Amino acid sequence: MLDRSESLTGTDVNNDGIRDDIEAFIDALEVTEPVRKALKQEARQAQESLYHDWAEKTDANIRKALGIADRYGKVLACKEFVGIPVRDRTNTASTLDALTYNTKARTMAYLAYNHLLDGSVSTLLDAEAHYCE
């Protein structure tokens, strides 16, 4: 059952940084263990933006947002390294975003985070094992 509670972060009983309902979804997928780990890394990274208050455009918040965005580069490199095809990489990202930001409050928090990234650039990392958690 998808968590639609008022809590921005939802329930994470085992404190692994992934909301329990999303973790159950990933665990139910028929994929190899390296792919499952990469998807969990992506879910953890997406969830991380919900643990901060992005209301003010401060240098500290911008640095924090850029740090989270940099970790997404590692997710992309890991997904490529474990052999997830390009189309599946984009589709799984869209699905995990839809599951993660599934309430108005979560979507608004994500938009505030993303707004702090306006004008930033990133470099695609090589597909290497050390980017996988």
| Tens of pLDDT, residues 47-72 | 999 999 999 999 999 999 999 999 99
State the CB neighbour count (10 A cutoff) for residue 77: 20
Residue 10: inside a domain, yes or no?
no
Domain residues for 45? 20-131
Nearest Cα to 88, choosing from 48, 125, 35? Answer: 35
Q: How many domains does the chain have?
A: 1
- For tokens 């990202």, what's the residue? 93
Sequence letter at residue 63: R
Residue 48 lies in a domain: yes
What average pLDDT does the segment 99-115 reach? 97
Residue 8 lies inside a defined structural domain of this protein: no
What is the reported pTM?
0.93
Q: Is residue 61 part of a domain?
A: yes
Residue 1 within a domain: no
